[in-house]
Amino acid sequence: MSTLEDVFREHWGRVLASLVGFLGDFDKAEESVQEAFVIAAHRWPTEGTPSSPAAWLTTTARNRAIDRIRRERTLADKIHLLPVPEAVMDEFDDTVIKDERLELIFTCCHPALPLEGQVALTLRALGGLQTAEIARAFLVSEETMKRRLTRAKNKIKATGIPFAVPAAHLLPDRLDAVLAVIYLIYNEGYSGRVDLGAEAISLGRVLTALMPDEPEVHGLLALMVIHHARRRARFSGDDLVLLDDQDRSLWDSRQLAAGRAVLDRAIALGGRGAYVVQAAIASLQTREQIDWPQVAGLYRRLIELTGSLVVELNYAVAVAQAGDPARALRTVDRLELDSYLYFHSTRGELLRRLHRDAEAKASYRRALDLATTTPERRFLARQLERL
């Protein structure tokens, strides 16, 4: 069932983007869009939903903004305050509404903003989430989240962060920043808050539509969708379930197919970047027969791209799965990841496979010391019992 609220959520980003572009001010834009939605909520149920809700909402919001500027101008004329700029009074054609969400995304994810501000603003401006919802998702008070959003909006205004898609020479770095924000939102959702996962996927979809030729954008979307397809199998009650033990009937096969199709598109576009490679790994891991040597090869490529020790750890797991736990252990032992839980649990598992049970136990105990959540602790305790 599609409620009025769903319709609003669907169009919020597009309408807001258009108003921010029009007014050059986040707060004023938000105010006008909210006004337009209030009018819609009043009229649509009796007069029917317009054929193009986004255009209707944008036109209405612009008209409200223009009205307000006129009122303020009259007031300013009377009491001789600063003049209101003339430029925003342009004629407006409601049949063609330019999609300015890309400009909005790049503004929200500008690296001059603190990362938490980028995340919050992206969810608010593009996703249309309420401040209270974002606060709940990040386990902070509504007041804290409100301040975070205000700080970000103030910095945009005070420092002149442009409402624009960056110039070509800046685009690769800036796009990386946007993708990082979306993936961060996704991972917040993955740690149990499913709503944010879906939100990140919908942001990813918007971005693929706006930048259809960027392979990494497709790569990120594929990665998120493939992971998301497995979300119901990752937990059994409160317990973490490893890939090997997951009940595949709980996987969302349609979503999985959709994710693979997005990955194919990314590869066809020549994508070889970190998100495409991770999506390819995720895809291989959902096959009936997992080609572990190929997975290991992809992890090797990912190590080249990221230089990440955690990726090296995953590479070692793939090597073990491909049948060589001794070599995997040698790789793991070279890594300096002593404070990382999964370093010790992986070592424990490799030692167990090599029948070095006493050392395996010691590693699992060390992992248990580092565990912070109940599911992690229970999982590790189960592994210890098996030994």
Could you give the CA distance from residue 257 to residue 229 in angstroms, rounded to a whole number?
Answer: 9
Q: Taking the CB of residue 254, how many other CB atoms lie within 10 A of it?
A: 9
Cross-strand pairs, 235: 240
Residue number, 161 or 290, with CB nearest to other proteins = 161
Per CB under 8 A, does 159 bind other proteins?
yes
Q: Supply the minimum distance, in Å, between the C-beta of residue 292 and other proteins.
A: 43
Least spacing, CB of residue 220 vs other proteins, in Å:
23
| Out of 21, 50, 53, 166, the residue judged to bind other proteins by CB under 8 A | 166
User: Closest distance between other proteins and the C-beta of residue 309, in Å?
Assistant: 26
From CA 297, how far away is CA 10, in angstroms rounded? 40
Q: What tokens were used for 76?
A: 């300013």
| Residue 168 is a binding residue for other proteins (CB under 8 A) | no
In contact, 89 and 69? CB cutoff 8 Å = yes
Q: How far is the CB of 329 from other proteins (least distance, A)?
A: 40
Q: Which of residues 83-112 bind other proteins (CB under 8 A)?
A: 110, 112
| Nearest residue (CB) to other proteins, 83 versus 160 | 160
Binding flag, residue 161, other proteins (CB under 8 A): yes
- Which residue is associated with the tokens 């500027």? 69
Q: What is the C-alpha to C-alpha distance for residues 83 and 150, in angstroms, rounded to an integer? A: 25
* Nearer residue to other proteins within complex by CB, 140 or 171: 171
Q: Which is nearer to other proteins, 39 or 161 (CB)?
A: 161
In the bound state with other proteins, the residue whose beta carbon lies nearer, of 166 and 375, is 166
Among 45, 162, 172, 323, binds other proteins (CB under 8 A): 162
Instruction: Decide whether 106 or 343 has the Cβ nearer to other proteins.
Output: 106
- Report residue 236: phi and psi, to 5°: -120, 105
What is the C-alpha separation between 83 and 364, in angstroms, rounded?
69
* Candidate ranges 161-169, 189-197, 314-322, 346-354; the one touching other proteins (CB under 8 A): 161-169
User: Smallest distance from the beta carbon of 169 to other proteins, in angstroms?
Assistant: 9
Q: CB-hemisphere CA count at 13 Å for 188? A: 22
Residue 215: name the closest of 303, 167, 274 by CA: 274
Least separation in angstroms between CB 208 and other proteins: 24
Q: What DSSP element (H or E) covers 46?
A: helix 26-47
Would you say 262 and 220 are in contact if contact means Cβ atoms under 8 Å apart? no
Task: Considering the complex, state which of residue 159 and residue 374 has its C-beta at the smaller distance from other proteins.
Answer: 159
Q: Of residues 107-126, which lie at the interface with other proteins (CB under 8 A)?
A: 110, 112
167 belongs to the binding site for other proteins (CB under 8 A): yes
First CA to last CA distance, the chain? 51
Nearer to other proteins, 9 or 174 (CB): 174
Q: Among residues 4, 38, 75, 170, which is the contact residue for other proteins, using CB under 8 A? A: 170
User: Which of the stretches 143-151, 160-168, 186-194, 288-296 binds other proteins when contact is defined by CB under 8 A?
Assistant: 160-168
Q: How far is the CB of 107 from other proteins (least distance, A)?
A: 10
**DSSP string for 226-295:** HHHHTGGGSEETTEE--GGG--GGGS-HHHHHHHHHHHHHHHHTT--SHHHHHHHHHHHTTSSS--HHHH
Measured from the Cβ of residue 174, the count of other Cβ atoms closer than 10 Å reads 17
Binding site for other proteins (CB under 8 A): 110, 112, 158-162, 164, 166-167, 170
